[in-house]
Structure 1
Amino acid sequence: MHETASAYGLWGFALINAAVFILFAFSFFKPSTPRDWRSFGAFSAFLVALFAEMYGFPLTIYVLSGWLQTHYPGVDWFSHDAGHLLETLFGWKTNPHFGPFHVLSYALIGAGFLVISVAWKTLYTAQQEGRLAVDGAYAYVRHPQYVGFVLVLLGFLVQWPTLLTLAMFPFLAVMYVRLAKSEEREALAQFGETYTAYMRRVPAFIPKWSTLMRRGATA
């Protein structure tokens, strides 16, 4: 049963939630270059759009209200619980915060922030030593921080899908790919054959299953 009180118009709550997650990500990522700030800024814009709909104005609910009310007439679409669209559409009857999609979102968001944190520490150490980062998370993929950002965005998208964030997600993913390619051109210019060999050995974004299994067996 969904709660009946409206959970929208809470702009202060939306601002606080966006600020908390943005600052949390900032503490892990620590942007320093213009490229870093672009990627972090796009990530922050996604979170602002997400929480604006989660607690401020339910644009997606309004746009889809005719279809939603026709196919799910017993649901109070202006309650907070109903805003968890995937749980509601798939018939989850109890607290959506414990639904399968919400649990999946927690796993994706947690994994994303963990990857960002671990990768940043590895990269910072390598930069201080003037060498290429190839260990830690960088032993699995060449761009773990961007992978982390995508995991976090995907987690929030699963938790609270909106039309705006659905539209933003592919553009952000493409932007991260382009930023990664720009980074690689600079790395090739700086490290030459060392980076070329690293590129041949380690995939850009999706780790090799054999690498995961091999390192898991030796852990």
Structure 2
Amino acid sequence: MTDTPAYGLWVLVAFNTVVFALFALSFARPRSPRDWRAFSAFTAFLVALFTEMYGFPLTLYLLSGWLQRRYPDLNVFSHDAGHLWWAMLGQRGDPHLGLPHLLSYLLIGGGFWLVAAAWDVLYRAQREGRVATSGPYARVRHPQYASFILILLGFLVQWPTLLTLLMFPVLVVMYLRLARREEAEARQVFGEAYARYAATTPAFFPALRRPGQTGRAGRPG
């Protein structure tokens, strides 16, 4: 409907933030203060994202002059204009059916699938007092943080804003630091077992070929 406002929809801001935060919470299930810090930073990203998506388009406002000169046919403050990658590629039509939007669905959906699959493996390993080495942990050492990075990247592909573009590298660095702290603790608890596992399993990016050692090599005897 053409008379539907594109922004100022604060109920949608709150609704989408709560839905995605609870959805992520149901998968991530933070337990330690470190886990809650990571989840809180993720939630802050969602607030910044949905505020510009449905509340006030700060990025479009700041870039309006440049966008109007560069793309004179673009309705700068329309909802479709918020799909900046689509607009800057000079595409026409519904951006929700475009390649950037479809790619964002794959990244976001893949991230949520990864964090859910990783949690089940980690939970069983913690109960059994061993290193988590199966499922996603057979490919990467930190699938839980990799999944959040995938989700954040998916949102950036779908709806980039100046604030979330600035927040993204900060969150990535935070997740990297949290991963290093977890590894240091795991080495203290599991010793050589975790060292063997870390030596054959990448931290965040899976190798194209599986390592020669199986996941069982990383488990304590």
Q: Same fold (TM over 0.5)?
A: yes
Question: What residue number does 1:132 align with?
Answer: 131
Question: What residue number does 2:53 align with?
Answer: 54
Question: What residue number does 2:217 align with?
Answer: none
Aligned residue type for 1:70: R
Matches of 1:169 and 1:106 in 2, distance apart?
Answer: 18
**3-state SS of paired residue (2:149):** helix
Superposed counterparts of 1:150-161, under 5 Å: 150-161=149-160
Question: What residue number does 1:94 align with?
Answer: 93
Superposed counterparts of 1:25-40, under 5 Å: 25-40=24-39
Matches of 2:71 and 2:210 in 1, distance apart?
Answer: 46
Question: What residue number does 1:67 align with?
Answer: 66
Matches of 1:80 and 1:62 in 2, distance apart?
Answer: 13
Aligned residues: 212
**3-state SS of paired residue (1:210):** coil
Identity %: 59
**3-state SS of paired residue (2:120):** helix
**3-state SS of paired residue (1:7):** coil
Q: Which runs of 5+ in 2 are unaligned?
A: 215-221
Question: What residue number does 2:42 align with?
Answer: 43
TM-score scaled by structure 1? 0.94
TM-score scaled by structure 2? 0.93
Deviation sequence 1:117-156 (CA, Å, 0-9, x none): 0000100011111111011000000000000000000000
Question: What residue number does 1:108 align with?
Answer: 107
Question: Is contact 1:116-1:148 (8 Å) kept?
Answer: yes
Question: Is contact 1:4-1:76 (8 Å) kept?
Answer: no
Matches of 1:108 and 1:57 in 2, distance apart?
Answer: 25
CA RMSD of aligned residues (A): 1.6
Shift of 1:114: 0.4
Aligned residue type for 1:177: L
Q: Which runs of 5+ in 1 are unaligned?
A: none
Shift of 1:113: 0.3
Aligned residue type for 1:169: F
